Amino acid sequence: MKLQCDVEVINRMLPTFGMKNRGKGARAVLSIGRHVDKTTQRSNIYLLICTAKDRAGSKYKLKENIEKFFTMFMDEGKATVRLKEPAVDVCLSKADANSLKNFLSAVRLAHRGSDADTMPLSTLTPVRARDVEKPKKKLVVVSKKDYPLTSNFPYSLEHLQVSYCKLSRVDMRMLSLKLLRKLDLSHNHIKKLPATIGDLGSLAELVLHNNHLEAFSVALCLSSLQRTLQHLDLSQNRLQALPAELCQLRELVNLKLDDNKLTRLPVRVGELSKLRYLSAAHNQLAFLPSDFRKLSLDNLDLFGNPFTQPNPFDHTIQLKFPLTLQELASRAVVNLRIPYGPQSIPFHLCPELDAAKVCDCGRACLDSFIQTSVSMNLHLVSHTVVLVDDMGGTEAPVQRHFCSLMCYCEFLDNCVQRGVR
């Protein structure tokens, strides 16, 4: 039985002599195994702790020699074993939580003097230098021949890049890297993302540039990524649409969507209040959603999209008289900000409420509305704007929706007055 983690051995007698412990752990390999005591010629179970400075290791007898276990933070990979003789505390940290639990179970058995034949013992030998080297935080693999097929990714990784390896799917071993902050899988052949990427609770940057993605799943948008993800690169894929739930990734600062086949952006894109960099160049966008006006960006790139020429008098009327009961109820839910979910309303209505349109008057409309588009100078939402076309333009059409004929007429009157001026 072996365990790799950081270890600090604290001598409890040092304060008696006015001395302090070093206060810093070292990378170590812990082993539980049988050792013959040279003085008594008896075989006992020992704990061997090997570090980079002491690869031969220090041995500690386990049978009836443990005063107490401290395991309150075991789920965080931390624990302490207090020995009777010598009077030391073996402090463990940065361990895999499951491995730590199994290791401490074996230590308890050894302490109680359980039958050694039933215990998973190891050979107490010096360790290799690579086994006790400092935990690796960054790994870059840019060749298929360098891809680890027979060994796991180091558990301590915070930055993992695997590019140009022709991966067709995400390796599930990557999803056990709980400390991962940046995952770069660019330049592969990935078609679909597993929902379990959302279980990477520290992930702040996800780079999927130049893959074969055709969708970005709703499950990822509703995962723990809502609290952590700041940079998302989906450029050079095969995306035609993005889910409305993408706008629930409200920690996003940088969103790259260039070179896809997007025909529209999410309706509630304005809810990405922390977004500062947005690029969606070379897509199939004909207009921008009404909510786009709420953004406050530092840099915006929409070059190479086939934007239509807006005309506020060219409109689409989908008003229904009288309004259906469902429309009235849905408007009330959105306007009054009544909480809803699949537990309180039919599941199929939730996406419709999530995608509710907002009239200029501030009220919501869903299936009954008037739609038009107007030109907007993109400098109103971004400090720096990449030119929209080769003619040097910085304007793009933005959709507008109106909940009633009255609201639309007021809007047209304002357009006419501005035109007169």
pLDDT digits (tens, 9 = 90+) for 353-396: 888 888 988 899 999 999 998 899 999 999 999 877 766 678 99
Per-residue pLDDT tens for 186-198? 999 999 999 999 9
Print the SS3 string covering the chain: CEEEEEEEEEECCHHHHCCCCCCCCEEEEEEEEEEECCCCCCEEEEEEEEECCCCCCEEEECCCCEEEEECCCHHHCCEEEEECCCCEEEEEECCCHHHHHHHHHHHHHHHHCCCHHHCCCCCCCCCCHHHHCCCCCEEEECCHHHCCCCCCCCCCCCEEEECCCCCCCCCHHHHHCCCCCEEECCCCCCCCCCHHHHHCCCCCEEECCCCCCCCCCHHHHCCCHHHHCCEEECCCCCCCCCCHHHHHCCCCCEEECCCCCCCCCCCCHHHCCCCCEEECCCCCCCCECHHHHHCCEEEEECCCCCCCCCCCCCCEECCCCCCCHHHHHHHHHHHCCCCCCCCCCCCCHHHHHHCCEEECCCCEECCCCEEEEEEEEHHHCEEEEECCCCCCCCEEEEEEEECCHHHHHHHHHHHHHHHHC
Per-residue pLDDT tens for 118-164? 666 766 666 666 665 677 889 999 999 989 887 788 888 999 999 99
What percent of the chain lies above the pLDDT cut of 90?
Answer: 51
Print the SS3 string covering 316-369: EECCCCCCCHHHHHHHHHHHCCCCCCCCCCCCCHHHHHHCCEEECCCCEECCCC
Average pLDDT, the chain: 88
Find the mean pLDDT for residues 297-315.
Answer: 88
CA distance 192 to 170: 8
pLDDT at site 40: 65
Per-residue pLDDT tens for 38-49? 666 677 888 888
pLDDT band at 28 (very low <50, low <70, confident <90, very high): confident
3-class SS of residue 269:
helix
For the chain, count helices (H), then strands (E).
6, 21
